[in-house]
């Protein structure tokens, strides 16, 4: 995986690495030790007694009754300002504008904690492609020549082969396919090895998965999903954060919550008879 310092983390480099390159890029040291400590403290506090939140791509662990060794913490925006700082980090925002369009939104911000001995995931691709094992439910001609997703993984613990660093198969984002047993995923995969505070930016159409934690320590990460403005978000973030959060939200956060792109709407209920869309004299409500 290509690794760059924050100064070299440009929108152009990101678009090229995610669309034409391996599909992933690691930015070293984007977040401070204080931010990581705070995020980790909150994630651990919210997952110590919560093995039962919904998770994904863990069908085998559910079958083996080992689901409790991985834990998700959802709705992070409501759990600490540090998560807003991560979601709104200005270099990430600039890269996402270039990759997903200026009005891009956030579809999810959650933590994935894998406890010592915890299971890996099924190799997969991410929302909104995550059920592409049923390709007939997607539009004719769909492809990944343009992206409908970007992921940012921020490790809160060292991501090593032993702790369960995410595995991915470079260049698989271009074919848009859900990986299967014949794809030799584990033979072909490389690991997203990284330090706490790094940010791994990747196109979620790239085949990947969390790997088993063979170490004696926890392996946690913040996972942020960004989407173009028109894709229905995965978490209902606007409803989950509540009114008070929205009232004090920055302009960037309002955009991430989807508030700049006000659809769907009950157009019949808008009593002002204005022109809401179009190149000339348009005012949205």
Ligand X SMILES: O=C(O)CCC(=O)C(=O)O
**Chain residues that interact with ligand X, rule: CB under 6 A:** 56, 112, 126, 166, 208-210, 221, 223
Closest separation in Å from C-beta 139 to ligand X: 23
Biggest CA-to-CA distance, the chain: 64
CA–CA distance, 174 with 171 (Å, rounded to integer): 6
Looking at the Cβ atoms of 148 and 209, the one nearer to ligand X is 209
CB 94 within 8 A of CB 11: yes
HSE, CB side, 13 Å, CA atoms: give it for residue 138.
Answer: 17
Residue 175 CB, nearest approach to ligand X (Å): 18
What's the min distance (Å) between Cβ of 168 and ligand X? 9
- Compute CA distances 282 → 104, 143, 231, whole Å: 20, 32, 22
Q: What is the DSSP letter of 269?
A: G
Residue placing its CB nearer to ligand X in the complex, 152 or 253: 152
Tell which residue, 189, 188, 192, has the closest CA to residue 164. Answer: 192
Chain position whose Cβ is nearest to ligand X: 210
Which of 89, 126 has the CB closer to ligand X? 126
To ligand X, the closest distance from the beta carbon of 251 in angstroms equals 29
Closest to ligand X by CB, 14 vs 112, is 112
CB of 166 to ligand X, least distance (A): 3
Distance CA 237, CA 224 (A): 12
Q: Which is nearer to ligand X, 151 or 255 (CB)?
A: 151
CA atoms within 13 A on the CB side of 22: 18
Q: Which is nearer to ligand X, 220 or 255 (by Cβ)?
A: 220
Q: Which CB sits closer to ligand X, 223 or 249?
A: 223
Tell the smallest beta-carbon distance from residue 56 to ligand X (Å).
5
The residue among 10 and 55 lying less far from ligand X, judged by its C-beta, is 55
At residue 257, φ and ψ (nearest 5 deg) are -80, 0
> What is the per-residue DSSP string for 76-116?
GGGG-HHHHHHHT-HHHHHHHHHHH-TT-EEEEEEEEEE-T
Q: How far is the CB of 259 from ligand X (least distance, A)?
A: 26
Is residue 99 within 8 A of residue 25, CB to CB? The reply is no
**What are the CA-CA distances from residue 76 to residues 15, 108, 249 (Å)?**
27, 9, 15
Min CB(106)–ligand X separation in Å: 15
Q: Which residue has the tokens 């998560």?
A: 83
């Amino acid at each position: 995986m290509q690794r760059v310092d924050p100064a070299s983390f440009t929108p152009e480099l990101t678009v090229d690495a995610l669309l034409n390159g391996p599909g992933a890029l690691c930015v070293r040291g984007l977040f401070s030790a204080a931010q990581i400590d705070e995020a980790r403290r909150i994630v651990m506090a919210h997952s110590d007694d919560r093995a039962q939140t919904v998770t994904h791509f863990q069908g085998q662990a559910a079958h083996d009754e080992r689901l409790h060794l991985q834990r998700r913490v959802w709705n992070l925006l409501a759990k600490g300002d540090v998560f807003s700082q991560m979601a709104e980090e200005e270099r990430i925002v600039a890269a996402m504008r270039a990759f997903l369009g200026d009005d891009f939104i956030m579809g999810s911000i959650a933590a994935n904690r894998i406890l010592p001995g915890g299971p890996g995931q099924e190799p997969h691709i991410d929302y909104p492609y995550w059920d592409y094992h049923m390709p007939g439910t997607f539009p004719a001609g769909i492809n990944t020549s343009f992206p409908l997703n970007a992921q940012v993984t921020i490790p809160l613990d060292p991501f090593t082969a032993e702790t369960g660093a995410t595995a991915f198969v470079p260049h698989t984002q271009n074919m848009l396919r859900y990986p299967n047993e014949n794809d030799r995923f584990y033979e072909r995969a490389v690991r997203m090895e990284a330090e706490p505070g790094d940010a791994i930016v990747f196109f979620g159409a790239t085949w990947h998965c969390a790997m088993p934690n063979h170490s004696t320590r926890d392996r946690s990460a913040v996972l942020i999903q960004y989407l173009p403005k028109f894709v229905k978000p995965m978490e209902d973030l606007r409803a989950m954060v509540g009114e008070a959060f929205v009232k004090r939200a920055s302009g960037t956060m309002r955009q991430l919550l989807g508030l700049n792109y006000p659809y769907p709407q009950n157009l019949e209920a808008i009593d002002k008879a204005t022109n809401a869309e179009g190149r000339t004299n348009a005012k949205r409500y």
